[in-house]
Amino acid sequence: DAEITQSPRHKITETGRQVTLACHQTWNHNNMFWYRQDLGHGLRLIHYSYGVQDTNKGEVSDGYSVSRSNTEDLPLTLESAASSQTSVYFCASSESTRGGQYFGPGTRLTVT
């Protein structure tokens, strides 16, 4: 069965370190997204991609970057982790730009 996976599921890191969260989907979807979920804010879009070599900034992109070298993967990098980036991160993919998205299980990141 097709799926979308995230790794690691939990990570603790120190302020200032570079961190990369992995996202891998086997749906063969062109569209992939990264969100963060914080209490009172719901899901906020960090970056998104509509195909290989395409990346776009979302609502809260400062301090984050992504790259899309193939259809299956969209890694999210925190260049220099800050305590404000402590959150739960969700990756998603979709077949169409407007349709429902399939979400991964999430990565809980703690920056100390």
Partner 1 sequence: DQQVKQNSPSLSVQEGRISILNCDYTNSMFDYFLWYKKYPAEGPTFLISISSIKDKNEDGRFTVFLNKSAKHLSLHIVPSQPGDSAVYFCAASAPTGGFKTIFGAGTRLFVKA
Binding site for partner 1 (CB under 8 A): 4, 33, 35, 40-45, 48, 56, 58-59, 90, 92, 97-106
- Which CA distances in Å does 19 have to 85, 99, 100? 11, 30, 28
Q: What are phi and psi of 2, to 5 degrees?
A: -70, 150
Please, which residue, 19 or 47, has the CB nearer to partner 1?
47
Please, which residue, 70 or 100, has the CB nearer to partner 1?
100
Please, which residue, 48 or 81, has the CB nearer to partner 1?
48
SS3 category, 84: helix
Q: For residues 43 and 68, give the distance between their C-alpha atoms in angstroms, rounded to a whole number.
A: 22
Min dist. Cβ of residue 39 to partner 1 (A): 8
